[in-house]
């Protein structure tokens, strides 16, 4: 079946789903990451591999290189399209400078690249020095969760031929928690900030088909904000830029359901399904197998992906 993303009836979107916003490319075209090209309607699973001892979810489980490589093997076996390697937790804590961050991720990215020549690798960093080292080691995408805090990161992406994630964090600085954050118009702020970064990346020379927007749930947001960007994600996908969502086991899920990180899978998958329905294309996750099934199921409901095998009632 050919992709029919532009002609599906019954697409989600109420009065707020809005028309196209300025700055986007022609309606949701091909996304290129590394050697790979992904059409609209093909959801991508980005597996989180933390090279940290202290991230919030299952801290330290992939701190050693062998454990991290095992995690990569498992993630790819379970259907991951992208391996996202990070060396610094989002939350405040022990200082990790650029040299230490590079030490944590660059060599490992090289090892993953050697092991999987064609897999897409992303580096979760906001620093341009780390970004350059990661790209030299084999990274294809710079996943900047901190909203372009280091303006030179876009230049590095352009120089190295990498993609760039443009995230909304409000006025938050890296590794800080939101404190009484407020937005007169949250979605307008999300659109304005992500599109401004996308245009800056374009100006820096990053090709349009390698730029991704991320509303950045929980970054510079309370739970209400994260719920709102989930509910109104169609306004971001309507820009035509590919949208990444990072929902996995986050506090907005935990606060919604009053559950600790290790019990947030079902809530994460619910948010994943809603985001997929609204047209998100990349899903940054801890649990690959379950997320893969959810996004594939939603893509099938949307009509973007054929069922694997249908005979019921058709014989």
Partner 1 sequence: MLTAAALCPAAPLLARELTGADPVVPELRQACRDAADALVHTDPEVIVVVGAGERTRTWDAARARLDLSRYAPGLGAGPTAVETPPLPLGLGCRLLDEAGYHGRRELQEVGANEPAAVCAALGASLAERAVRVALLVMADGSARRGVKAPGYLDERSAGFDSEVGRAVRDGDLPALLALDAALARALMATGRPAWQVLAGATDGARPTSVIRYDDDPFGVAYLVASLTVG
Question: In the range 287-306, which residues lie near partner 1 by CB under 8 A?
Answer: 303, 306
The span from the CA of 98 to the CA of 127, in Å, is 7
Whichever of 182 and 314 has its CB closer to partner 1, that residue is 314
307 makes contact with partner 1 (CB under 8 A): yes
Report the DSSP pairing between strands 282-285 and 244-246. parallel
Of 182 and 315, which CB lies nearer to partner 1 in the complex structure? 315
Distance CA 192, CA 168 (A): 9
CA distance 171 to 111: 36
- Which is the catalytic residue, given 113, 210, 232, 250? 250
Considering the complex, state which of residue 8 and residue 293 has its C-beta at the smaller distance from partner 1: 8
- How distant is the alpha carbon of residue 136 from its chain centre? 21
Concerning whether 284 is annotated as a catalytic residue, the answer is: yes
Q: How far is the CB of 1 from partner 1 (least distance, A)?
A: 6
Q: Which of 284, 292, 302, 305 is catalytic?
A: 284
Task: Count CB neighbours of 120 within 10 A.
Answer: 23
Cβ closest to partner 1, residue 207 vs residue 303: 303
Q: Which of residues 10-49 bind partner 1 (CB under 8 A)?
A: 10
Which H helix or E strand runs over 166?
strand 163-167
DSSP assignments along 232-256, one per residue: THHHHHTTSS-BEEE-TT-HHHHHH
Q: C-beta of 210: minimal distance to partner 1 in Å?
A: 28
Site for partner 1 in 103-142 (CB under 8 A): none
| Residue 11 vs 175, nearer CB to partner 1 | 11
Dihedrals φ, ψ of 200, to 5°? -65, -40
User: Shortest Cβ distance from residue 306 to partner 1 (Å)?
Assistant: 4
Return d(Cα 33, Cα 164) in angstroms, integer.
10
Nearer Cβ to partner 1 (38/146): 38
What is the C-alpha separation between 132 and 101, in angstroms, rounded? 12
- Member of 8, 27, 114, 171 binding partner 1 (CB under 8 A): 8
CB of residue 201 vs partner 1: minimum separation in angstroms?
35
| HEC sequence for 122-157 | EEECCCHHHHHHHHHHCCCEEEECCCCCCCHHHHHH
Question: Which of 3, 4, 144, 146: binder of partner 1 (CB under 8 A)?
Answer: 4
CB of 16 to partner 1, least distance (A): 24
What is each CA distance from 104 to 92, 98, 234, 246, in whole angstroms? 18, 10, 36, 22
- The reply to whether 308 sits near partner 1 by the rule CB under 8 A is yes
Can you read off the two tokens belonging to residue 275?
């985001």
Interacting stretch for partner 1, rule CB under 8 A, among 4-12, 84-92, 168-176, 220-228?
Answer: 4-12
Q: Does 315 bind partner 1 (CB under 8 A)?
A: yes
136 annotated active-site: no
Question: Which residues would be at the binding site for partner 1 (CB under 8 A)?
Answer: 1, 4, 7-10, 303, 306-311, 313-315
Q: List, by residue number, the catalytic residues.
A: 250, 284
């Amino acid at each position: 079946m050919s992709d029919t993303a532009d002609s599906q009836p019954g697409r989600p979107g109420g009065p707020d789903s809005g028309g196209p916003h300025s700055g986007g490319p022609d309606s949701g075209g091909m996304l290129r990451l590394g050697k790979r090209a992904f059409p609209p309607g093909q959801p991508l699973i980005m597996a989180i591999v933390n090279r940290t001892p202290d991230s919030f979810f299952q801290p330290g489980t992939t701190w050693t290189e062998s454990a991290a490589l095992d995690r990569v093997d498992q993630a790819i076996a379970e259907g991951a399209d992208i391996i996202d390697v990070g060396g610094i937790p989002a939350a405040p804590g022990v200082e990790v400078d650029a040299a230490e961050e590079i030490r944590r991720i660059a060599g490992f990215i090289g090892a993953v690249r050697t092991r999987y020549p064609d897999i897409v690798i992303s580096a979760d960093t906001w620093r341009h020095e780390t970004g350059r080292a990661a790209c030299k080691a084999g990274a294809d995408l710079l996943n900047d969760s901190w909203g372009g805090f280091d303006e030179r990161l876009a230049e590095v992406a352009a120089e190295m031929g990498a993609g760039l994630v443009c995230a909304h964090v409000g006025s938050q600085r890296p590794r800080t928690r939101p404190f009484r954050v407020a937005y007169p118009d949250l979605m307008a702020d999300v659109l304005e900030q992500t599109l401004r970064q996308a245009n800056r990346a374009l100006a820096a020379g990053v090709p349009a088909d390698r730029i991704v927007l991320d509303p950045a749930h929980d970054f510079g947001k309370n739970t209400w904000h994260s719920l709102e960007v989930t509910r109104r994600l169609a306004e971001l996908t309507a820009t035509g830029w590919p949208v990444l969502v990072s929902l996995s086991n986050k506090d907005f899920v935990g606060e919604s359901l009053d559950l600790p990180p290790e019990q947030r899978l079902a809530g994460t998958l619910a948010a994943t399904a809603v985001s997929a329905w609204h047209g998100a294309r990349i899903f940054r996750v801890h649990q690959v197998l379950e997320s893969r099934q959810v996004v594939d199921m939603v893509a099938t409901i949307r009509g973007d992906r054929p069922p694997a095998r249908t005979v019921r009632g058709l014989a």
